[in-house]
Every structure is written in C-alpha cells, then in structure tokens.
Chains A and B, each alone.
Chain A
Amino acid sequence: MKRWLPFPLLSAVLAAGWLALVGEASIAHLLLGGLLALAIPLVAAPFLDHLQHVVAPGAAVRLLFLLIRDIVLANIAVARLVLGPEARLRPAFVSVPLALSHPQSIALLASIITMTPGTVSADLAPDRRTLLVHALDCADPARLVADIKRRYEQPLLEIFGC
C-alpha cells in the first residue's frame, strides 16, 4: 500500500482532475485516470519527500472561506484604488518577519499575500526569515504586517501544526 500509493490524496486529485479534463466517466477513462494517478506520484516522489501534513483540516476550511471573502473584497478595494486619482496612492515596501519556517508553508503564505488586499510578495530573504511585501496603498506599515501575521500566518501555523 505504502509502496504503490505513497500519496493517496494526490492520487485522488489526479484521477478526479483527469476525469474533469476529459469530461466523461467511461470505463476507459476511469482506467486511464487510475493509471495516471498511480504513475505520476511514483515518478514525482523525489520532489514530494519533504511535504508538510495538514493536522487541522477544520482550520484549513476556515482559512479557505476567509480567503475567498478577502479575495473578492480585495478586488473591489483595488479596483477603486486603480480607478481613483493616482497621486493619492501610497505604495510601500514592508518586511514581514516570518514565524513559519517550512518552505511549503512559506510558499503558501507568499501566494496568499499575492492574491489578497493590495499586496504582492516580492522577495524572500536568503535566510528565509523575512518576506518582502509591496503594498499598493499602505498608510501604516506596522498594521499591515500585524494584519498579515494574524489573518494568514496564524491559521497556517495551526493547519500544519508547527
């Protein structure tokens, strides 16, 4: 079991993805999807060795809903900023000190920051302890950092139990 199906969740996602792609659930495509779901994780195993595991699925679902809400609200906010007078924008670079240490959760946090309220993650310090974030309109950098840490980093710490 462990040897032939090292990442059951990934295999399930791959099979479901294949069926969604071809758009039919015939025997032939079920077999082909199953074959891909078996083969791809085996081939990709060396890259997947150091994955973190979700220990708090409830927190992950909560974060997902928070994200959907934030992405929609953020887009409306950014639309107003973009269409409003440009001289009023106060762009800023801020450094966010990280409590997360695992590359996987740092990558997730950086992606979340890029997808949400007027912020883009621009760079990671070589020691992986600080994230450089650019904000489109930021009046109070200290508050922005506190918001990012409270809203997104805290749930990630909880989800991966570190």
Chain B
Amino acid sequence: MIIEIAVSALLMVGSFFMLVGAIGLARLPDFFMRLHAPTKATTLGVGSMLLASMLYSLQDGPSLHELLIVLFLFLTAPVSAHLLAQAALKLKLRSRAPMPGDFPRLPD
C-alpha cells in the first residue's frame, strides 16, 4: 500500500517534469533558451519514473535494470546538450542573449 502511494507520487512528479520539458521546448523563444528545458527537466522526469519502476518491482526481488538507464541518461544528457550548443554556435543561430566580448572564438 505504502509502496503503491510512493510509486504513484513518483509517477506524478515524473510526468510533471516531462511535460515541463516539452512545454519549454515548444514555447521558449530562441534555441539556447529551448536547450535548457529538455536537457534538465526530462532527465529528472525520467529519473523519477525509473525510481517509481524500481520501487514497484521491489516487491518481487530487487532490480538494478532501471539504475542503468538513469546512469546512462545522466551521463549522456550533458554530452548531447553540449554538442547541440556547439552546432547552434556554428550555425550562428539568433539568440536573445548577446555573446560576451571577452570569449575567444576561432575565426571560421
């Protein structure tokens, strides 16, 4: 019973953050701002859903499967975000924030 409540609560938290990530992706005005929402919110969203799944399967023996996915997502999310940011800088996408004058960039 307690496990069921905890699993349901974690699922709610997870779906809230998944939704926040998607809303941010859909409504924020420029690419660099949009990059924030999915990279963070969805990672925590999937994280709490996996926690829910782990808790749920605890009833018939502990399971470490979910931990692997969480670990993998937390390791890879910053890498894909960084590569996407670099691609956006390369494409010189319009951004609301000005580039700082003191950051050295290779001329291309």
What residues make up the interface of A, taking CB atoms closer than 8 Å to B?
A: 17, 19-21, 23, 71-72, 74-75, 78-79, 82-83, 86, 89, 91-95, 110-112, 114-115, 118, 120-123, 125-127, 130, 132, 134-136
Task: Say yes or no: B82 contacts A114, CB within 8 Å.
Answer: yes
Of the four ranges (under 10, 10 to 19, 20 to 34, 35 or more), the interface on chain B belongs to: 35 or more
**By DSSP majority rule, is chain B's interface helix, strand, loop, or mixed?**
helix
Residues A111 and B79 in contact in the complex (CB < 8 Å), given A20-B64, A91-B33? yes
What residues make up the interface of B, taking CB atoms closer than 8 Å to A?
A: 16-17, 20, 23-24, 27-30, 32-33, 35-37, 39-41, 43-44, 63-65, 67-68, 74, 77-79, 81-82, 85-86, 88-89, 95-100, 102-106
Contact of B40 among A19, A20, A78, A93 (CB under 8 A): A78
Residues A82 and B82 in contact in the complex (CB < 8 Å), given A123-B105, A132-B100? no
6 A-B contacts (beta carbon < 8 Å): A75-B41, A79-B17, A79-B41, A82-B36, A91-B30, A136-B33
Q: Which residues of A contact B82 (CB under 8 A)?
A: 110-111, 114, 120-122
